[in-house]
């Protein structure tokens, strides 16, 4: 244009909101909505399509939470639908657009749930937000428990379980090899998910040298999920006999397993005391019902659960490889209360980080029981609420080198400490405008293939961070995405498919 200067804008780096809009840099927007970034281009955002085929199923409504649920052979979704009129939360298992199972779990008051997959099973913990003065705290529902779902459409059941009831009969069997003398015997049940119950039906019997042992009237379980029963025994009892038989250390007898829940006898069991290696006594201390909590995660093959209704400082840790085996004595992580609940946890570089909304501490597995792990305070002001640590494809957190955490300060990279400036530095004004009591609504996921971070905001629209140019405060491009309906939850499934869960108004 004659006599006119020009300002060329050909770099678009997304929304900028740090106080006065006049301070917006040349390559940023002082207002924006529903845009995406591809290379240098800025384009209209992705559209949304329905995820369930209306011709094949009745689409679910009132969606509160969705997780990607990896089965052994495919990725599926586990979905919470909450009806505010009845205050009932119902969980479904959505296999694909044409197939859904459920309801698999229905609980009054379940407005949210924690989830972790383990060996193809789903572990589910119902929780909700409760008023605590001016704050809202997330914790497990009162008188509710951890549930396990097999992934096959059958209803979820309470994890763990009580032992068998009844009395065994014990007699001398055929010729065999045993150490003579008084021994204590009992039975342990095993469920389909591998949970071992406390030993029950304890009896004493005097072994006869050269003769095996036969067991009759072995108790069965009314729980159809029990698939095996194991006979356990002590070594020879030194006189006098302690009448409290639970005080004796019990061991699994090799090859003394009934591989069903029907047969009531096992005959001619031979063993020497020196064959008793695998301890079963620790099973006495386990929870038979694991209280519900507000978060679940995995650490070194252990299930970690935290923030129960009766104690929102409580963090429970299971035995290695046994997510339902949590000792009431040794399976606790000790930590100093600070008035806020434990609200999230994640494993990062072999360390378990446990967070409250306003603090972060760490625990290291020292190879001993969890109760011996020493807490180390990492951060005294920053933490996060449930769903505030970015999930990647398989519903577990972290990539290799970082966690992405939504704190009250902003969206931060966590690499053992919270990096500053935070990733949301450019939109600090927007982040600080969110209502703090509603931070429990925030959920963050990362689509690594699309190079996007998705954040459900407290105002129930999407905040998208495009990381195509790098995952750092300067290169990230932020854009709000709004929809006609409110968005409650988001998940990434099947490599890079983004799934949204929308609520009724």
Partner 1 sequence: MPTTNYSSIDLTNIIAISGPTFTNCSDIGSAPLTPNFSGTFNDPAINQASNYLGTARGEGIWSAVINHNTPTTIVPSNAKIRRIRMQMQFANNPVTASASITAFSTNSSAYVEATLQAAPEPINAPWITSFNTINDIDSDAAAGAPVTVSASINPPGEFMFFEYDFTTNPNGDFPLGYMTYADFITNFSVATFQIKTISEIQSLWSGAGSLTGNAAGGCALQASNWSMEVEWYVTLQWTLSPSTITLPDNIIELTRSAPIEPDDEQIEAVWIGDTKIEPDDPWVIVWTKILIRIHIPPDEVENGDKNIDVEIIGTQFSGRIPAGTLTITTADLSGIYQLDDSAFTDTLYDRSGSPVVTQEVAIPAPFFVTYSVNNNESDVLHFTGTRIKASGQGSLHQLFQSLDYIQTEQLNDIILRTSNNLVPFSLANFIDQQANVRVYMDTIEDFMKIDQIIIFYKKLFTGYPQ
Binding positions for partner 1, rule: CB under 8 A: 1, 3-10, 12, 21-22, 24-36, 40-52, 54, 58-63, 66, 77, 79, 94, 459-461, 480, 482-487, 497-505
The DSSP output letter for 281 is G
Kindly tell me the sign of the dihedral angle through the C-alpha atoms of 421, 425, 429, 432. Answer: negative
Q: How far is the CB of 308 from partner 1 (least distance, A)?
A: 30
Q: Which of 23, 1, 26 is nearest to 12 (CA)?
A: 26
Rounded to an integer, what is the distance from CA 382 to the centroid of its chain?
Answer: 22
Strands 497-502 and 181-191: unpaired
By beta-carbon proximity to partner 1, the closer residue of 97 and 330 is: 97
Question: Token digits for 285?
Answer: 């201390």
By beta-carbon proximity to partner 1, the closer residue of 173 and 501 is: 501
Neighbours of 412 (CB within 10 A): 25
Question: Token digits for 188?
Answer: 């342990």
By beta-carbon proximity to partner 1, the closer residue of 46 and 279 is: 46
Q: What whole-number distance in Å separates Cα of residue 400 and Cα of residue 373?
A: 24
By beta-carbon proximity to partner 1, the closer residue of 57 and 245 is: 57
Q: Would you state the torsion angle of the CA atoms of residues 475, 451, 459, 32, taken in this order, to the nearest 10 degrees? A: 50
Q: How far is the CB of 29 from partner 1 (least distance, A)?
A: 4
Q: How far is the CB of 443 from partner 1 (least distance, A)?
A: 15
Q: How far is the CB of 271 from partner 1 (least distance, A)?
A: 55
Q: What whole-number distance in Å separates Cα of residue 254 and Cα of residue 258?
A: 12
By beta-carbon proximity to partner 1, the closer residue of 93 and 356 is: 93
Q: How far is the CB of 13 from partner 1 (least distance, A)?
A: 11
Q: What whole-number distance in Å separates Cα of residue 14 and Cα of residue 448?
A: 19
Strands 266-269 and 315-317: unpaired
Cα angle vertex 456, ends 128, 49, to 5°? Answer: 110
Q: How far is the CB of 95 from partner 1 (least distance, A)?
A: 12
Q: How far is the CB of 8 from partner 1 (least distance, A)?
A: 5
By beta-carbon proximity to partner 1, the closer residue of 294 and 490 is: 490
By beta-carbon proximity to partner 1, the closer residue of 212 and 457 is: 457
Q: How far is the CB of 255 from partner 1 (least distance, A)?
A: 49
By beta-carbon proximity to partner 1, the closer residue of 283 and 456 is: 456
Residue whose tokens read 């999407």: 462
Q: How far is the CB of 436 from partner 1 (least distance, A)?
A: 16
Q: What whole-number distance in Å separates Cα of residue 466 and Cα of residue 208?
A: 75
Question: Token digits for 388?
Answer: 């505030």
493 with 450: CB under 8 angstroms? Answer: no
The DSSP output letter for 372 is G
Q: How far is the CB of 494 from partner 1 (least distance, A)?
A: 10
By beta-carbon proximity to partner 1, the closer residue of 52 and 193 is: 52
Kindly tell me the sign of the dihedral angle through the C-alpha atoms of 367, 368, 369, 372. Answer: negative
174 with 268: CB under 8 angstroms? Answer: yes
Neighbours of 284 (CB within 10 A): 16
Q: Alpha helices of 100-236 — where are they, by DSSP H?
A: none
- Residues linked to residue 131 through DSSP beta bridges, in sequence order: 136
By beta-carbon proximity to partner 1, the closer residue of 59 and 194 is: 59
Residue whose tokens read 């763990």: 160
Residue whose tokens read 């190879």: 367
The size of the chain, in residues, is: 505
By beta-carbon proximity to partner 1, the closer residue of 219 and 429 is: 429
By beta-carbon proximity to partner 1, the closer residue of 105 and 256 is: 105
338 with 360: CB under 8 angstroms? Answer: no
Q: What whole-number distance in Å separates Cα of residue 220 and Cα of residue 187?
A: 10
Kindly tell me the sign of the dihedral angle through the C-alpha atoms of 282, 287, 288, 293. Answer: negative
């Amino acid at each position: 244009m004659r006599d006119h200067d020009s300002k060329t804008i050909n770099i678009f780096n997304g929304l900028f909101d740090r106080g006065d809009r006049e301070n917006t840099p040349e390559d940023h927007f002082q207002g924006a909505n529903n845009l995406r970034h591809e290379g240098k281009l800025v384009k209209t955002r992705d559209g949304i399509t329905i995820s369930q085929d209306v011709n094949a199923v009745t689409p679910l409504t009132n969606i509160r939470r969705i997780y990607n649920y990896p089965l052994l052979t495919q990725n599926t979704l586990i979905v919470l639908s909450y009806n505010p009129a009845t205050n009932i939360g119902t969980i479904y298992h959505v296999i694909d657009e044409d197939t859904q199972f459920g309801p698999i779990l229905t609980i009054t008051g379940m407005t949210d749930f924690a989830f972790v997959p383990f060996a193809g099973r789903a572990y589910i913990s119902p929780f909700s937000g409760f008023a605590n003065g001016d704050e809202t705290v997330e914790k497990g529902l009162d008188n509710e428990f951890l549930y396990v779902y097999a992934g096959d459409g059958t209803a979820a059941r309470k994890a763990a379980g009580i032992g068998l009831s009844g009395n065994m009969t014990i007699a001398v069997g055929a010729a065999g090899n045993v150490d003579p003398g008084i021994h204590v015997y009992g039975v342990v049940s095993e469920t389909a998910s591998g949970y071992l119950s406390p030993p029950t039906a304890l009896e004493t019997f005097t072994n006869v040298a050269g003769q095996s042992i036969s067991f009759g009237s072995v108790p069965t379980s009314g729980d159809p999920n029990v698939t095996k029963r194991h006979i356990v025994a002590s070594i020879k009892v030194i006189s006098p006999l302690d009448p409290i038989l639970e005080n004796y250390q019990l061991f699994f007898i090799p090859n003394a397993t009934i591989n069903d829940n029907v047969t009531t006898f096992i005959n001619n069991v031979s063993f020497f005391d020196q064959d008793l290696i695998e301890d079963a006594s620790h099973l006495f201390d386990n929870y038979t019902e694991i209280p519900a909590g507000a978060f679940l995660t995995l650490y070194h093959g252990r299930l970690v659960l935290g923030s129960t209704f009766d104690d929102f400082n409580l963090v429970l840790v299971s035995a290695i490889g046994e997510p339902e085996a949590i000792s009431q004595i040794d399976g606790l992580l000790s930590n100093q209360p600070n008035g806020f609940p434990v609200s999230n946890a994640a494993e990062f570089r072999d360390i378990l980080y446990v967070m409250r909304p306003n603090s972060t501490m760490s625990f290291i597995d020292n190879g001993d029981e969890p109760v011996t792990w020493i807490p180390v305070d990492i951060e005294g002001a920053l933490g996060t609420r449930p769903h505030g640590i970015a999930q990647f494809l398989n519903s577990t957190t972290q990539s290799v080198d970082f966690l992405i955490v939504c704190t009250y300060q902003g969206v931060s990279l966590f690499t053992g400490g919270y990096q500053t400036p935070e990733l949301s530095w450019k939109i600090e004004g927007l982040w600080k405008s969110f209502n703090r009591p509603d931070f429990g609504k925030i959920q963050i996921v990362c689509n690594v293939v699309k190079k996007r971070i998705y954040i459900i905001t407290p105002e129930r629209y999407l905040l998208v961070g495009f990381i195509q140019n790098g995952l750092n405060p300067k290169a990230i491009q932020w854009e709000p995405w709004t929809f006609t309906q409110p968005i409650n939850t988001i998940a990434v499934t099947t490599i890079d498919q983004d799934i949204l869960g929308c609520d009724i108004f």
